[in-house]
Each structure stands twice: as structure tokens, then as C-alpha cells.
Structure 1
Amino acid sequence: MSALLALEFVSTLRMRRSGLADALADAAGMTAWGREHATALGVDPDSFTATETLRAEVVELRQAVRALFARAVSPGPASTADADLLPAFRPSLELVNATAMAVPVTPRLDWPADDVPVVHVVPAVPAGESERIRAALAASAMELLAGPYREKLRTCPAPRCVLYFVKEHPRQEWCSVTCGNRARAARHYRQHSGSR
């Protein structure tokens, strides 16, 4: 499981020129995002189709993970996308834990006749698609928050950006080059607009 899947998950909320955009705003969006992350979520990229119920459950989990991310970057500011709408910390932590525990996993050894053995992590008990998807997302968030990435987790300070990112080098201030350029342009504008 990749801890960085959790970053991609919370980044389904983005700021566009038209305002806040939610990649999981409807079942079609959830289907597209699920297919894009099929391997990590354990779904078939060709046949996965999200229901409205699955989408709503995933969005509820995303808000809980975003609440945990907000706590992780504290005392810095949380993402402006939904800082005032996030659920409380304790219920968010309980939801993430319960979601991950709903599908216990175990390693399984596969050994093709003409290849090397490979270990796959699979559900230890039968579980529905929604439970498997949400458990994978919760486990990814847990891995990020309990590992070395937590100390490097930041909120992008660029104007209109609502993303969290992992600071990969000491001088990194923004989530992307685009946000860095936007922040520098806004600073330049502020410095020069007052002198006229």
C-alpha cells in the first residue's frame, strides 16, 4: 500500500478558476477516479462502476482523512477547501480506524509455474467492494500519518490552492511549480500595486 495514495485521495478536492472542484462529486467521478487507481484499490479497471452509496461513503471517509491531515499540519493552517466543514478529530480518527479494521488483510503467496513467487496482500475475509476500497484508502492514510511523511506534510500556501503535499526538499514551499509561480506573481502584484 502506498502512503501517497492518501494524498491523491484528499486531492480529489481542488481549486479551479470556477471555484472548488470535487472529482468525487458524483458516481461518474468516483468511477473514473476508482478506475485510475484500480490497482491500489483492488478493483478491475475495466468493470468497476461506483454506486451513489459507495461514492457517499468514500466522500465521508475523505472528510475524515482531511480532518486528520489538518491535525497533522497543525499549528499551520488546514486546507482552505473545507477547514470550516471538517468533522471533529476524534470521530474522524475512529472512522478511519473502523474503516481499515473492517477488512483485515493477509499476505498471499502466488507462484506462477514459469516465474518467481510474488506476495500479494489480500482481504483475509470476504468483503464487499465498498469495504475493500474504503479499507485501502484508510490504510493508506494511516501509513502516511504514522510514517515519516507526516512530518513533511504541508498545506500549499499559494493563492486559491487547497492541496496538501509532502515537502520533498528543504526549499520546497508549494505543492507544484504552478503554485509557486502563482504565489510569486501575487506577491509581486501586491508589492507593486501599492506604489502607484
Structure 2
Amino acid sequence: MLALEFVSTVRATRSGPLDTLSDVADMTGWGRAHAAELGLATDFTATEDLWREVIELRQAVRALFARAVAPGPVSSADADRLPGAAASLDLVNAAALAVPRAPRLEWPDGGEPVATDVPAGRAGESARIRAALAASAIELLAGPERGQLHACPAPRCVLYFVKEHPRQEWCSVGCGNRARAARHYHQHKGR
């Protein structure tokens, strides 16, 4: 899901959190990698303003994810730097509303008619990108998957994930292994 990939641009490394959208070049690469979902050309190039706007939106979405997993623990990557819930909600809604969508009927020769959502008017690239990201976050947060959204509790992990199995505790097998190894170490440390 695009919203999870978007908030996961903040990751953990051995030396601490890593922002994979740390500059305009990173934003350009991420945009090109997600061009189809964002409605971008494959030769997309980010601007400084677009990058700043996307980072601001990411923090708002992370704040709403933190609210969604409460009372459970939130991601430790930036919990102390997240905007308030009301401001985040306003920003995400404004970004989604900036590019209204309308249904368009497509009916290929010999095929069945299909309705697709397209932008209802002309909008700049930044508004289109932020609208797609905000809409993905709204879809996740207002949908049935919100109840399965969790912050990974593994040591040093800062990712959110949607629990796919009732017994799933971590975002990945690697995080599960790290958590079990840390628990084993702490249990046997003083022996």
C-alpha cells in the first residue's frame, strides 16, 4: 500500500533512523519508483518546494498513524517531532481535496466498460503527488486495515505495518529475529 511505503521512507539502520527522502534527489528517485501510483512521468524531477511539501505531508501521515496505533507504542523514529493530530488531519484532508477526482468511463473496442478515477481539473505536479499520498493514507486510516496497523516493536525498528496474520508481531522476519535475539540476550545476560 502506497501510504505504508510513504511513511516507511523513515527507516532504521544500525546507527539510527535514516530518512530516504532526505533531499530533492531522493524525492526524485522515490517519485520515479512510484510513478504509476502517483500519476507521474518516468522522467519526473522533484523541486525543492515539492520535496518540502511532501516531507510535511509525511510527518502529518506519520502523526495520524501514531494516533491509529494508540494506545500501543508509536514509531520511535520521530514521535517527538510529529505535529498534533488536528493539524495533521487538516493537512492530509487539504492535500486530498486539492485535486478532486471524478469517474471517467473507458470502453475499449471488444471489451467491457470500466470506470476509472481521474483528476477532475488541472493541478500542478506537487498537488497531484500530495493528493495521491493523502488519499492512500485516508483509505488506510478509514478502512478496515486501520485496526491491523501497528508500529513494529523490534529493537531499533521505526516502521509501521499492517498485521497480515493474527500471530504476526513484527514488520518482517528480520525484525522478529532481532527481537528474539535481544530477548534471549537479556534473559541470559546475568548468568
- TM value normalised by structure 1: 0.94
Amino acid at match of 1:118: V
State the partner residue of 1:27. Answer: 24
**What's 1:69 paired with?**
65
Unaligned runs of 5+ in 1: none
Residues 37-76 of structure 1: pairs in structure 2 closer than 5 A: 37-45=34-42, 47-76=43-72
1:164: which partner in 2?
A: 160
State the distance in 2 between where 1:55 and 1:194 align. 49
The answer for the alignment partner of 2:15 in structure 1 is: 18
C-alpha RMSD over aligned residues: 1.1
Measure, in 1, the Cα distance between the counterparts of 2:29 and 2:114. Answer: 29
Partner secondary structure for residue 149 of structure 1: helix
Counterpart amino acid of residue 30 in structure 1: M
State the Cα deviation string for residues 15-66 of structure 1 (Å, max 9, x = none). 0123211111011111111111111100012x11111111110000000000
Structure 2 counterpart of 1:101? 97
Question: Which AA in structure 2 matches 1:73?
Answer: V
- Residues in 1 aligned to 2:9 and 2:190: alpha-carbon distance in whole angstroms: 36
1:175 maps to 171
Identity fraction in percent: 71
2:33 to 28, 32, 36: 36
SS at match of 2:80: coil
In the alignment, structure 1 residue 137 sits paired with structure 2 residue 146: no
How far off its partner does 1:120 sit? 2.4
Match of 2:74 in 1: 78
Q: Distance in 1 between matches of 2:29 and 2:110?
A: 35
Structure 2, gaps ≥5 residues long:
none
What number of residue pairs does the alignment pair up? 191
SS of the aligned residue for 1:194 comes to: coil
The offset of 1:115, in angstroms, is 4.6
By how many angstroms is 1:114 displaced?
Answer: 5.5
Q: What is the CA distance between 1:193 and its match in structure 2?
A: 1.1
Decide which moves more: 93-102 or 107-116.
107-116
CA drift at 1:77:
1.2
Matched, 1:187 2:183: yes
Displacement of 1:119 in angstroms is: 2.8
| Structure 1 letter corresponding to 2:32 | R
Equivalent residue, structure 2, for 1:7: 4
Give the superposition deviation at 1:118: 3.4
- 1:111-122 → structure 2 map (5 Å cutoff): 111-113=107-109, 115-122=111-118
Give the Cα–Cα distance (whole angstroms) in 1 for the partners of residues 44 and 113 of structure 2: 28
* Distance in 1 separating the partners of 2:113 and 2:51: 36
2:151 alignment counterpart: 155
TM-score (norm 2): 0.96
